[in-house]
Structure 1
Amino acid sequence: MSLKNARVLIIGGTSGIGLGVATAVAERGGIPIVASRRQSSVDSALSTLPDNARGATVDLTDPTAPDRLFDEVGAIDHLVYTAGDALALAPLSALTPESINSFLLVRFVGALTAIKVFAPRITSGGSITLTSGTAAERPGLGVLPTAVCGAVNAMTRALALELAPLRVNTVAPGPIRTPLWDTLSETDRQAIYDQFASQLPAGRIGEVGDTARAYVYLMEQEFGTGVVLTVDGGSTLS
């Protein structure tokens, strides 16, 4: 399936992997629609994308926001969900009900709410592509990322059955250089990148473009559904 002229809504599409997906969609002749919480982020993303790209704001902490987003953007061909705040690398002892709920709200509840709103309005032959991560298989980042990644993977398989023939898949990135690591100091962040690079069979940290191509593949292929596609430089091999 070609992405030419396809309308692809990317929730979380103004930075990192989401912006990489928007760029890749545009390169294939598609129409990326990037959605994020802040209008300034949307404007910044649109300044880097072709003129046919569109943008919208959506506050995923508001359960009515996805309905308003649909009213604004209309029917779509593909939904991509990459939204996520900075990684919560806290141990169990440091978690609070507020931090737990905040992390789940954007990465899991927000995704499920968006799917509920948009799935009935995705054109025939379209798809949904979610985002989890290799923490589901290698729980080294703490309980919250591990739990959410595992939940998204399970949700993908359940929705692939419930929403069939609409295809529902997930990309599970490994160590990728994205703004999600920006809560760390530049020195600590680079140290983590160097550590990953030395341990990965691929010999380097992943870049946004490496992962963006996986989303494009899952949109363009027409047979796979319920797939969790790992793009991790080999991090789960050992």
Structure 2
Amino acid sequence: MSLQNQRVVVLGGTSGIGLATARLAADQGATVIVASSNPESVKRALEALPDSASGEAVDLTDSAAVAAFFNGIEPFDHLVFTAGEALTLLEIDSLDLDKARRAFELRYFAALGAVSAAASKIRPGGSVVLTTGAAGDRPGPGWSVAASICGAIDSAVRALALELAPIRVNAVKPGVVRTPLWRGGLDYDETARQLPVQRVGEPEDIASAYVYLMNQPYSTGSIVSVDGGHVLV
């Protein structure tokens, strides 16, 4: 299977997992369009992608900007949403509800808004791949907000798979990955020792799951875990 002659839009596709997914899709022959809120990040991503790629700075929490972005591009085959901010743990006894709402704004509501704006542009046989996380299945102290976002995405995937059929809707559920979103908040070496695979994930590990779901024509409403065995320990 390959993505030859297909068009893939990756929101959050300018760094980390999103950029790795964009690169792998391009390696399989796709024309890639990436978007994120930072113009400099978009510029750097395009330098790392083939000349056929294009990109745009878009505030993904601004529904009007997202609608304008999709109105301005040609029909495409696959939508991938990997956008997120640096992870912040929120203890319940000192919970900052404003921070909690902001976390939901990008990781959940922006994803839902992007699907709404993009659905009519997705060509027959196409798909949506969202991003959830292992925290939804195995949270720790301080993870109530992050785990709730993951649970919301998990449920949305199943509902959207029915509502948007025959467009396929799936999600990838990463564990700990060596990306800027985790930087400064985790001891990678200690985490690696606790995992059955004895290492943390790399963006390329996770990217292969997104590309698998784009290529898999008989999968919808599914969530693929790529967590190094996080939920087992």
Could you say whether these structures have the same fold, taking a TM-score greater than 0.5 normalized by the shorter chain as the test?
A: yes
Alpha-carbon shift at residue 74 of structure 1 (Å)? 2.6
Instruction: Confirm or deny that 1:73 pairs with 2:68.
Output: no
**What corresponds to 2:145 in structure 1?**
144
Give yes or no for contact 1:17–1:212 (8 Å, CA) kept in 2. yes
Partner residue of 2:198 out of 203, 206, 211: 203
Alpha-carbon shift at residue 73 of structure 1 (Å)? 2.1
Give yes or no for contact 2:90–2:96 (8 Å, CA) kept in 1. no
Alpha-carbon shift at residue 130 of structure 1 (Å)? 0.2
Alpha-carbon shift at residue 27 of structure 1 (Å)? 0.7
Give the TM-score taking structure 1 as reference length. Answer: 0.94
RMSD, matched Cα: 1.2
**What corresponds to 2:159 in structure 1?**
158
Alpha-carbon shift at residue 166 of structure 1 (Å)? 0.7
Give distance in 2, aligned partners of 1:2 and 1:201: 31
Alpha-carbon shift at residue 76 of structure 1 (Å)? 1.3
1:171-220 deviations in Å (ceiling 9; x for gaps): 000111011023x2xxx64xx21111101111111101100000000000
Give distance in 2, aligned partners of 1:61 and 1:169: 21
Give distance in 1, aligned partners of 2:65 and 2:94: 30
Alpha-carbon shift at residue 17 of structure 1 (Å)? 0.3
**What corresponds to 1:178 in structure 2?**
179
Give distance in 1, aligned partners of 2:101 and 2:176: 24
Among the aligned pairs, what percent are the same residue? 48
Alpha-carbon shift at residue 65 of structure 1 (Å)? 1.5
1:132-179 deviations in Å (ceiling 9; x for gaps): 010010012511110000110010001001111110000000111011
1:68-122 deviations in Å (ceiling 9; x for gaps): 1112223111000000011121212333232111101100000000000111210
Structure 1, 69-78 or 159-168: larger mean CA deviation = 69-78
Give the TM-score taking structure 2 as reference length. Answer: 0.96
Q: How many residues align?
A: 232
CA 1:93–1:73 in 2, change beyond 3 Å: closer, same or farther?
farther
**What corresponds to 2:225 in structure 1?**
230
Give distance in 2, aligned partners of 1:159 and 1:195: 37
Give distance in 1, aligned partners of 2:73 and 2:56: 8
1:35-80 deviations in Å (ceiling 9; x for gaps): 0001111001001111111101110221211111112223111000
Give distance in 2, aligned partners of 1:67 and 1:10: 15
Alpha-carbon shift at residue 229 of structure 1 (Å)? 0.3
Match of 2:72, SS state, is helix
Is there any run of 5+ residues in structure 2 with no aligned partner, and where? none
Which structure 1 residue ranges, 4+ long, deviate > 3 Å from structure 2? none
Give distance in 1, aligned partners of 2:181 and 2:22: 17
Alpha-carbon shift at residue 2 of structure 1 (Å)? 3.0
Instruction: Confirm or deny that 1:40 pairs with 2:40.
Output: yes
